Amino acid sequence: GVAHNTMVPLAARNDFRVAFNICRSERQGAIDDDGRRFIERVVPHLCRSMQLGFRLDGYRALQRAEHDVLDRLSVGVVLFDRRARVIYSNAAAASLSSDDSVLCVRNGMIAARSDLNASRFASLIRSVLSGMTAASISLPRSGDGRPITVVASSVRGRDVGRFADHHMPDAAVLLLMIDPTTRPKIPSAWIMEAYGLTQAEARVALAASSGTTIAETAEQLGLSSHTVKTHLRKVFDKTG
């Protein structure tokens, strides 16, 4: 039943177009001069709204990317509010507070498992909440004895806005937990894109960068030592 159509382009990108469209029937008739003038007044506001929408979507995408990057880190990252309650923790921090680790999470609070270390850990958080810029302690493991390094830092005023955007306006303490036994997990796609590596070269590069020998890398990836050496030569050439 559409007899008349008025269309105004609002935005154009490489992969799509946005337009404002008014359809009218034969009975309604075409838009008259007053209607066209009204649309001309409205269109600039619609264009600004579209551009604002694009910017907000882009900003949200950056926020999601920030969380994704934090979860890729081998360092545990925890944010506390002013009551020393956990308001954010990344994947590495969650693994460091698992059932068999030196830390535990109860009712939104994080603490060391042993009484002695729990007191030291609580004192660390309190000192930063009380105004100390940064402080650190080491927490020994029960297994191999290699300690986890814990660094606490106050959240600076200019950072509060960033955390508020993530619905964490009360962030007061940033905690970093460094486990020497945890190796960084870098997605192979990242270095493939950054250095132009093939998937096979990226797998060898990541395995070798974790400290394995050529023989160990070959066994780990199910390749021959000769193939590993060939891939490494190409990796060195491409990465410099």
What is the per-residue pLDDT for 58? 76
pLDDT digits (tens, 9 = 90+) for 69-89: 777 777 888 888 888 888 888
Whether 96 shows a pLDDT value over 60: the answer reads yes
Q: Is the dihedral of CA 54, 55, 56, 60 positive or negative?
A: positive
Average pLDDT score over the chain: 82
Specify the DSSP class assigned to residue 27.
T
For residues 139-150, give the mean pLDDT: 75
The segment with the largest mean pLDDT, out of 20-34, 69-83, 171-185, is 20-34
What is the per-residue pLDDT for 23? 93
Give the pLDDT band of residue 199 (cuts 50, 70, 90): very high
For residues 115-143, give the mean pLDDT: 84
For residues 7-13, give the mean pLDDT: 86
For residues 133-145, give the mean pLDDT: 77
Whether 167 shows a pLDDT value over 70: the answer reads no
What's the 3-state SS for the chain? CCCEEEEEEEEECCCCEEEEEEEECCCCCCCCHHHHHHHHHHHHHHHHHHHHHHHHHHHHHHHHHHHHHHHHCCCEEEEECCCCCEEEECHHHHHHCCCCCCEEEECCEEEECCHHHHHHHHHHHHHHHCCCCEEEEEECCCCCCCCEEEEEEECCHHHHHHHHHCCCCCCCEEEEEECCCCCCCCCHHHHHHHHCCCHHHHHHHHHHHCCCCHHHHHHHHCCCHHHHHHHHHHHHHHHC
Whether 200 shows a pLDDT value over 70: the answer reads yes
Give the pLDDT band of residue 42 (cuts 50, 70, 90): very high
What is the per-residue pLDDT for 4? 94
What distance in Å separates the CA atoms of residue 212 and residue 234, rounded to the nearest whole number? 18
What is the per-residue pLDDT for 30? 92
Whether 235 shows a pLDDT value over 90: the answer reads yes
- pTM of whole model > 0.85? no
For residues 152-156, give the mean pLDDT: 83
What is the per-residue pLDDT for 154? 87
C-alpha closest to that of 210 among 185, 229, 232: 185
Amino acid at the residue 4: H
What is the per-residue pLDDT for 169? 61
